Amino acid sequence: MNLHCAWLLLLLPQPHQPGVEADMAAKPIFIRDSYKGSGKLQGKVPSSQVAAACSGDSGIGRAVAVHFAREGADVAILYLDEHKDADEVVELVKKEGRRCLKFAGDASKPETAKEIVEKTVQEFGRLDILVNNASQQHMQTDFAKIDPQQLASTFAINVFGYFYMAQAALPHLKEGASIINTSSVTAYKGSPGLVDYSSTKGAQISFTRALSNQLVSKGIRVNAVAPGPIWTPLQPATFPGDKLEKLGDSVPMERPGQPCECAGCYVLLASEDGSYISGQTLHPNGGVVVSG
């Protein structure tokens, strides 16, 4: 499948966050036809490993869910209210021969985190991998106009939600388990139109490093992935059409990435191939050179 083909279609902004993949004219590519699973997440026991993906219905979350399933994991996904997107992911995971649970809820609420974790463990009997992926961003080029409500909401989803999910999952994670946090290149480069969002992404990197230091002695690894501009529903739900047309122009590869170009990072960090990696961040960002 050509990674550029979807980008040639009409780019249409969406009115609400986090956006709906089913409504996108240019569909994100969540997995390559050529991707071959090799049982990386099959586990050390006859049953598969179990992964919970927060915001797993679309974009990067969808790509991660399907890649994990192809590698042998059962998956539970949390989403806000994009029911059609979530239903599609359930079917995609089932086509890979794996099971998939879906939960609608607000990722910024601690009770939501407890519910998805408890029901996942109740259904599957275990939890091996947590992927924190929920995010929101609101473009505002005038720093003075970022109001308290927007600031609080952005931090509630992007930072507090990561804390709540990790806290809920931790009692069920055993040695060899993995927590993966989705950050962004903006954590390192900053974005003048997304000051509050960039701040939360920096917080996610610090959270990843600190939590890794605390949990590494228990054999639980904590890492992050900091993608560059990736074509997901969050983009048309954030930017107007003229901005969408330029998405990715500023990176060395001069194009936006596709979700499938990030998913391999999550597979690496979740599997035994990444068993000596913790407290680190991977950067699928189109060639932007960052440190950290």
Whether residue 23 is contained in a domain is answered as no
Q: Is 79 a catalytic residue?
A: no
**From 79, 162, 197, 266, active-site residue:** 197
Whether residue 241 is contained in a domain is answered as yes
The CATH number of the domain holding residue 97 is: 3.40.50.720
Structural domain of 151: 43-282
Half-sphere exposure of residue 201, counting CA atoms within 13 Å on the CB side?
A: 23
Whether residue 288 is contained in a domain is answered as no
Number of domains in the chain: 1
List pLDDT tens digits, range 235-290.
766 665 666 666 767 888 988 899 999 999 999 999 999 999 999 999 999 999 99
List pLDDT tens digits, range 116-159.
999 999 999 999 999 999 988 888 999 999 999 999 999 999 99
Structure-token pair, residue 158: 């992007």
The predicted pLDDT at position 254 comes to 86
List pLDDT tens digits, range 217-244.
999 999 999 999 888 876 766 665 666 6
Whether residue 227 is contained in a domain is answered as yes
Mean pLDDT of 154-181: 96
pLDDT band at 20 (very low <50, low <70, confident <90, very high): low
Query: Cα–Cα distance between 74 and 47 in angstroms, integer?
Result: 9
pTM of the full structure = 0.88
The predicted pLDDT at position 184 comes to 95
Whether residue 2 is contained in a domain is answered as no
List pLDDT tens digits, range 92-113.
999 999 999 999 999 899 999 9
The predicted pLDDT at position 26 comes to 72
Whether residue 24 is contained in a domain is answered as no
Whether residue 253 is contained in a domain is answered as yes
Whether residue 139 is contained in a domain is answered as yes
